[in-house]
């Protein structure tokens, strides 16, 4: 069902809805031990699954491996094929940069070049945030390109955001990251030829040329790549679409960015740990009716191939599920934005585990929250954009369709 129809059916109410995301949650077998969810001891998630209707969701389309941006848009009810948002937009919004229509943001990844000018580390050794901040300030103080404003902001560790602002810019530009080590960074090139895209590429390539010279003596972050280059267009407001008052409790800037793009109130108070996130949830519980809570490390450990790390995050977070239930939410959905199996060390196309709890849901026979058990779930496999309508329906926030 389309966003437009759900928006027409959405009504105000007092029910409280919680969307709890383990980033990269879905997995596959690890040397006969099952997925991380199957190997972990998660009694509170298992109990919640027992009380819920369960299954899987597909973030974008069958067989398609999604990025984090489109996967989260899907969770928020936006068709990711219709609203294609570059990662640069999300990074810029994540650090609360005041984007304007027509801006061209890009995500910066600092990288390390070897003496031959080839990438030896795509993430510059995951430099600490203090070093990343220093390097971006060094760039900002030295880059000069006529005819365009260039705004630089550090994001976290080796990541930063750049925003181009000027007349006649285009955003249909390919990434400059070759995605592998042992190759030189790519030049900025248009995906589609146009005067606006060509102008942007000229600016970006001059930026890259200057950056290489400015950073050449850095021990690790001696170059950068650009990803998710896009022309900014605002989205329809989540609040106006669904009559919800939403807030985002996320640690990483990118997830604050996608939340801000949807029109959510961003909680900026210190929340580096899950305990701090849940304490913040309790603090703002009376002020909102939709709560997006995001746990990142399940994805990070998956991309590192760290199976034990994924298990440890799940087991560490599991007790907080009980604390959320004690608040008395009317609806709880627990899932991931996509799958990141640790044997693959990357995002994947595998359907993502999902449960939806409410007093009026129809619990199935599933009693464990893991991939094997959820094959028997009552939801089957649904599209990610169906999660929000189901949450609204279970929270009695959708009126009847038709006479």
What integer is the mean pLDDT of 319-334? 98
253 and 219: one domain?
no
**What total number of domains does the chain contain?**
2
Work out the angle at residue 322's Cα, subtended by the Cα atoms of residues 271 and 316, and round it to the nearest 5 degrees. Answer: 55
Q: What is the CATH number of the domain that holds 330?
A: 3.40.720.10
278 and 306: one domain?
yes
pLDDT at 252: 87
Q: How confident is the model at residue 95 (pLDDT cuts 50, 70, 90)?
A: confident
What integer is the mean pLDDT of 354-365? 97
What Rg, from alpha-carbon coordinates, does the chain have?
Answer: 22
356: in domain: yes
262 and 342: one domain?
yes
167 and 64: one domain?
no
CB atoms within 10 A of CB 330: 20
Q: How confident is the model at residue 334 (pLDDT cuts 50, 70, 90)?
A: very high
Looking at the chain, the whole-number percentage of residues with pLDDT higher than 70 is 100
- For residues 88 and 217, the answer to whether their CB atoms sit within 8 Å is no
Domain boundary among the residues 183, 206, 227 is at 227
Express each pLDDT in 267-313 by its tens digit. Answer: 987 778 999 999 999 999 999 999 999 999 999 999 999 999 999 99
Residue 316: is its pLDDT beyond 90? yes
401: in domain: no
131 and 192: one domain?
yes
Token look-up 């939340």 returns 259
Residue 20: is its pLDDT beyond 90? yes
265: in domain: yes
130 and 216: one domain?
yes
pLDDT at 85: 86
pLDDT at 2: 80
Mean pLDDT of the chain: 95
Q: How confident is the model at residue 254 (pLDDT cuts 50, 70, 90)?
A: confident
308 and 178: one domain?
no
pLDDT at 274: 95
Distance (Å, whole) CA 319 – CA 317: 6
Distance (Å, whole) CA 105 – CA 155: 13
Q: Which range of residues forms the domain containing residue 281? A: 3-84+236-394
Question: Do the bridges between strand 53-58 and strand 380-383 make them parallel or antiparallel, or are there none, so unpaired?
Answer: parallel
12: in domain: yes
Residue 172: is its pLDDT beyond 80? yes
Q: How confident is the model at residue 90 (pLDDT cuts 50, 70, 90)?
A: confident
What integer is the mean pLDDT of 176-191? 95
Domain boundary among the residues 227, 260, 284 is at 227
Express each pLDDT in 366-392 by its tens digit. Answer: 999 999 999 999 999 999 999 999 999
Q: Say which residues have a Cβ less than 8 Å from residue 95's Cβ, sequence separation at least 6.
A: 153, 154, 155, 161, 253, 257
103 and 124: one domain?
yes
221: in domain: yes
58 and 10: one domain?
yes
402: in domain: no
Residue 207: is its pLDDT beyond 90? yes
57: in domain: yes
Distance (Å, whole) CA 321 – CA 143: 47
Tokens of 182: 């042992």
Distance (Å, whole) CA 385 – CA 379: 14
60 and 179: one domain?
no
177 and 321: one domain?
no
Domain boundary among the residues 173, 194, 227 is at 227
Looking at the chain, the whole-number percentage of residues with pLDDT higher than 90 is 90
Residue 339: is its pLDDT beyond 90? yes
pLDDT at 1: 60
């Amino acid at each position: 069902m389309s966003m437009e129809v759900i928006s027409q059916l959405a009504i105000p109410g007092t029910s409280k809805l919680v969307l709890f995301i383990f980033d990269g949650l879905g997995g596959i077998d690890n040397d006969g031990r099952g997925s991380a969810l199957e190997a972990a001891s998660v009694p509170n998630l298992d109990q919640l699954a027992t009380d819920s209707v369960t299954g899987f969701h597909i973030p974008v389309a069958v067989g398609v491996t999604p990025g984090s941006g489109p996967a989260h848009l899907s969770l928020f009810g936006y068709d990711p094929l219709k609203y294609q948002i570059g990662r640069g937009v999300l990074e810029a919004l994540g650090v609360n940069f005041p984007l304007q229509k027509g801006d061209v943001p890009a995500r910066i990844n600092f990288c390390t070049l070897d003496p031959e000018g080839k990438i030896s580390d795509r993430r510059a050794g995951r430099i600490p945030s203090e070093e990343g901040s220093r390097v971006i300030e060094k760039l900002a103080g030295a880059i000069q390109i006529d005819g365009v404003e260039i705004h630089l902001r550090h994001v976290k560790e080796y990541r930063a955001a750049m925003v181009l602002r000027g007349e006649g810019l285009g955003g249909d530009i390919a990434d400059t990251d070759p995605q592998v080590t042992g190759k030189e960074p790519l030049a900025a090139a248009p995906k589609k030829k146009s005067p606006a895209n060509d102008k942007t590429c000229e600016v970006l390539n001059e930026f890259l040329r200057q950056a290489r010279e400015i950073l050449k003596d850095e021990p690790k972050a001696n170059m950068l790549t650009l990803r998710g280059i896009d022309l900014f267009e605002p989205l329809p407001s989540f609040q106006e679409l669904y009559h919800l008052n939403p807030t985002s409790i996320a640690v990483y800037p990118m997830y604050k960015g996608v939340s801000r793009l949807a029109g959510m109130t961003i909680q900026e108070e210190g929340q580096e740990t899950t305990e701090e996130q849940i304490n913040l949830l309790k603090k703002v519980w009376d002020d909102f009716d939709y709560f997006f809570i995001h746990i990142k490390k399940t994805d990070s450990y998956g991309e590192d191939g760290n199976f034990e790390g994924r298990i440890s995050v799940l087991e560490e977070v599991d007790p907080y599920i009980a604390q959320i239930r004690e608040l008395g939410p009317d609806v709880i959905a627990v899932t991931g934005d996509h799958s990141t199996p640790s044997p693959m060390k990357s995002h994947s196309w595998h359907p993502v585990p999902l449960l939806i709890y409410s007093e009026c849901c129809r619990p199935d026979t599933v009693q464990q929250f893991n991939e094997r058990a959820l094959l028997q779930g009552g939801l089957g496999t649904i599209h990610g954009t169906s999660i929000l309508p189901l949450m609204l329906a279970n929270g009695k926030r959708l009126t009847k369709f038709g006479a």
